[in-house]
Amino acid sequence: MATVDQLAHAVLFPSLGRATVPRWISEPVAAGLGGFVLFGREAVSADQLRALTAQLRERAPGIHLAVDEEGGDVSRLEATGVISTPGNLALGRIDDLAVTRDCAVQLGLALRDLGVDWDFAPAVDVAVNPLTPNGVRCFGSDRKRVAEHAVAWVEGLQSTGVSACAKHFPGHGLSGTDAHLGTPNLELSRHELVDHYLDPFRAVVAAGVDSIMVSHPQVPAIDEWPASISRPIITGLLRDELGYDGVVITDALEMKGVARMADLATAAVRALQAGADALCLGSWSFGDDVRTCVEAITAAVAAGDLDQDALERSAERIRRIGAGPVTVSGAADVTTGPRLARRRSRSTDGRSCAARRSWSYAWSRASRRPRGAATVMSKGCWPSEVRRSNGSPCRSRPTTATA
Residues annotated as catalytic are: 180, 251
Amino acid at 258: V
d(CA 279, CA 17): 17
Interaxial angle between packed helices 143-158 and 97-113, expressed in degrees from 0 to 180 and rounded to the nearest 10: 40
Residue 137: its H or E element: none
Contact 292, 278 (CB under 8 A): no
Contact 215, 276 (CB under 8 A): no
- Number of Cβ within a 10 Å radius of residue 328: 16
Give, in order, the Cα–Cα distances in Å from 288 to each of 215, 291, 402: 23, 5, 34
Our measurement of the distance from residue 315's CA atom to the centroid of its chain's CA atoms, rounded to an integer in Å, reads 20
d(CA 269, CA 390): 55
Q: 295 by DSSP, 3-state: which?
A: helix
28 preceded by a cis bond (ω within 30 of 0): no
User: What ranges in 320-376 are assigned the alpha helix state H?
Assistant: 336-347, 353-357
